[in-house]
Amino acid sequence: MSDTGEICEPARGRRSGGRASRVALRAAPLAEGLRPIRAGLPGGQYRPLTDAGMAKIHESALEALEVIGLSQAPPSGVELLTGAGAVQGDDGRIRFPRALVEDMLAVAARDITLFGREEKHDLHLSGTKVHFGTAGAAVHIVDAISGEYRDSTAQDLYDAARITHHLDNVHFFQRAMVCRDVPDNYDMDINTLYACLSGTTKHVGTSFSDPAHVKGCFDLLHQVAGGEAAWRARPFVSNSNCFVVPPMKFAEESCITMEACIRAGMPMLLLSAGQAGATAPAPIALAIVQAMAECLAGVVYANAIQPGAHCIFGTWPFVSDLRTGAMSGGSAEQALLTAGCAQMHRFYDLPGGAAAGISDSKMPDMQAGWEQAITNTLAGLSGLNMVYEAVGMHASLLGFCMESLVLGDDILGQVLRTVRGIDVTEDSTSIEAMKAVCLGGPGHYLGSDQTLALMQTEYVYPVLGNRMSPKEWVEAGRPLLLDRAIARKNDILAKAGCQIDPQIDAAIRATHNIYFR
């Protein structure tokens, strides 16, 4: 501080090479293997459950399947499950002997790949490899400028897919909102699928509202893929399937859809989404028990259809604010639930997915920032293979914000850097660089060869986050984060085109009611 009370800028050492050379160095593209962050970095550093705790949760889940079981299986499911060794009681509930669950776990697929339409977007789900993406069924779009909520449309879904295609840290695109401008349910399923595929070549997740719609949607998939054989060789869409209605009931139509999709070669997200304190027990550990039991039932079901079916163990328990009963997706308890589920996925050595990054805030504000950062960080550090709903989701999944999607890419960049951790090697701990600086050197590391060499491979730089000094910020016109997000969103949409071959696109539009441009 100066004698007049003004805050003085800290003295800065002169940097060798100048600002222009540093900017050019950061802008130069790196080979994928040299990037400091990327899809599939291994997590697993954070473990909220002890080994004894995981074993206890597993035992309780097996007991729940044997004693309580699940109700309301469709006739086809009853046939499949009892044929595999499950027992239907006089009360109609399907109960699962421990040996049956263990046998199906033994044949369940592991180390699976979710394909993109481009190989560079393939997601390898093994061990603790972490991937972040979208998901959800928001019914509103958040207007970050006016603060208003409006109905989401097919055009919004297409735009969100196009934006995601250009975000390095959002690795897949699962349907994030409902096409509320499409009145016919079949047309809505077609538009949902096609909007996602038109916007990005990353792996896509979708869902079907009626089993009768599956065939038409697969006809479209085969058309995009270049035939059924090409689709089956590299299935680039997975089905998000809520095959259970917690607590412990099968969802009949979703089960029939699951059967059809597995037989047609589509990877399956076996999704259980109970809400602790409402449709799942209030204790965090017991909410995980119920989610495990429900998804283990899904593992038995899926592998009874086709042994080794490619499935993601989709335990998605949510949290209630017990004062009101409202969902609290951005809470610390939600972060713990998700991380605990990720540990259980590793316990079973199954590809797993769960939810993080949800904000209860209505706008992309400070609350949204801390909720998205905390839940995504714990999900990444726990080694969750597929982190769904990681960006863009507001109002406890009721609203989706395009600007928040763009801002979330920066959040995920910082999260992925924490997942990567600290590289301790002979080179990174050698004191030679210290000797060069301290013993007759300049007394600082600015501009040193080692510093310049690590600028891109050790450090991650936000695209939108502002690291200017107060003086620089004022001189730059006091730029606001939301304004920068709006500008980046508009820039991406201005240049992002359709990712479907024009001839195929024309053919699909000629035979289907497509609601987006």
- Write out pLDDT tens, residues 206-231: 999 999 999 999 999 999 999 999 99
Residue 13 has pLDDT above 50, yes or no: no
Please give the model's pTM, rounded to 2 decimal places.
Answer: 0.93
Residue 213 domain-assigned?
yes
Residue 353 domain-assigned?
yes
Residue 489 domain-assigned?
no
**Number of structural domains the chain divides into:** 1
**Tokens encoding 233:** 């060789």
> pLDDT value at position 9?
41
What is the DSSP secondary structure assignment for residue 394, as one 8-state letter?
A: E
CATH number of the CATH domain containing 249: 3.20.20.480
**Cα-Cα-Cα-Cα dihedral of 362, 368, 374, 378, to 10°?**
50
What is the DSSP secondary structure assignment for residue 382, as one 8-state letter?
A: T
Residue 15 domain-assigned?
no
Residue 230 domain-assigned?
yes
What's the pLDDT tens digit per position in 336-377?
A: 999 999 999 999 999 999 999 999 999 999 999 999 999 999
Residue 37 domain-assigned?
no
Residue 322 domain-assigned?
yes
What's the pLDDT tens digit per position in 50-79?
A: 999 999 999 999 999 999 999 999 999 999
> pLDDT value at position 460?
93
Other Cβ atoms closer than 10 A to 228: 14
Question: What is the residue range of 228's domain?
Answer: 106-421+497-511
Residue 341 domain-assigned?
yes
